[in-house]
Amino acid sequence: MQVTFYGTRGSVPVSGPSYARYGGATTCLCIETGAAAGTPTPSRVIIDCGTGLSALGRTLAGSPTSAVVLQSHFHWDHVHGFPFFSPIYRPDTTLTLLAANRGGKSFHTILREQMCAPQFPVSLERLPAAITFRELPPCGTASFGGLVIRWVEVPHPSGCTAFRVEHAGSALVFTGDVELPLVVDGRLAELAQGAGLLVADCQYFGSEYELRRGWGHSAIEHAVELGAGCAARHLVLTHHDPLHEDLALDRKLQAARSVARSRFLVDNAYDGLVLTVPAASTAAAWDHASAA
């Protein structure tokens, strides 16, 4: 599997010379599974519909698009790219959208309310793309051919879903927006166990987190601790604070690598980053009963 990061910023998109290297689009990842067209295994998995989804859409211009979309939660920075995803305006696009119900609202309801007058000129019902919605329970497992998706609920205001995507021996785990010190059970650690690539919320430096407890995000030490505890091969830090310019993110990465002490690879995500997802380590051990 190969993953491209189209948006790695949290809260609000940013721009300007001081953000040039890391970028300013909000959360969107695209996983290419390498599966052949026409097989039961999806060739493309999209995680979250932040403003980075618009850039992904531009790369798909003019070609039929089929994808499974995993939506972690419904905060603005994770959904407001959807109306600007150009493939939804083509009849040769097929999307299957998976998300948990939050506050009594489905993902279908969230998008319908977002794309209505006077907020947006094109309604969800008028889109020519074939879009299917699937509501997820708090924890579970789903298979699409040779692709396996597992998920658990994590602590964040109004809730959030962490996902594990597995295919052909490779495993990527996306924590979603999570305040790791508030995790009270072992489900996220089990989900992330042995991940080849762990993409983790790391919005804050430690000193910033102390002033923002309860806001739903994690700091450097929390992300590195999760990576070490689950024997991840490669930790990628994401959901960068909109106030953190490139130089601040350089310092964050240096601090994270110092805490990790070369036990595993650590990198910052940035808009346009492309990585091959490593195979899951032999430490991987998912407890299927815990997700029931």
Q: Which residue has the tokens 């300007």?
A: 16
Calpha distance 126→123 (Å, rounded): 5
The pLDDT, as a whole number, for residue 140 is 98
**Cα Rg of the chain (Å, integer):** 18
The range of the structural domain enclosing residue 52 comes to 2-282
The pLDDT, as a whole number, for residue 6 is 98
Does the CA dihedral 108-68-137-198 come out positive or negative?
A: negative
What is the number of structural domains in the chain? 1
What pTM, to 2 d.p., does this model score?
Answer: 0.95
Burial class (CB in 10 A: 0-12, 13-18, 19+), 32: middle
Domain membership of residue 292 (yes or no) is: no
Domain membership of residue 199 (yes or no) is: yes
Domain membership of residue 290 (yes or no) is: no
Which residues lie across from 96 on neighbouring strands?
68, 132
Q: Which residue has the tokens 């940035």?
A: 270
Sheet holding 147-154, edge to edge: 140-144, 147-154, 160-167, 170-174, 197-201, 234-238, 265-268
pLDDT, tens digit only, all 292 positions of the chain: 999 999 999 999 999 999 999 999 999 999 999 988 788 999 999 999 999 999 999 999 888 999 999 999 999 999 999 999 999 999 999 999 999 999 999 999 999 999 999 999 999 999 999 999 999 999 999 999 999 999 999 999 999 999 999 999 999 999 999 999 999 899 999 999 999 999 999 999 999 999 999 999 999 999 999 999 999 999 999 999 999 999 999 999 999 999 999 899 999 999 999 999 998 875 444 443 334 3
Domain membership of residue 69 (yes or no) is: yes
Calpha distance 93→68 (Å, rounded): 11
Cα–Cα distances in Å, from 69 out to 98, 131, 163, 239? 6, 10, 11, 18
CA angle 123, 30, 178 (to 5 degrees): 85
Please report, for the domain that includes residue 42, its CATH number.
3.60.15.10
Tokens of 198: 């762990």
Domain membership of residue 150 (yes or no) is: yes
Domain membership of residue 287 (yes or no) is: no
Domain membership of residue 208 (yes or no) is: yes
Domain membership of residue 291 (yes or no) is: no
DSSP, collapsed to helix, strand or coil, labels residue 182 as helix
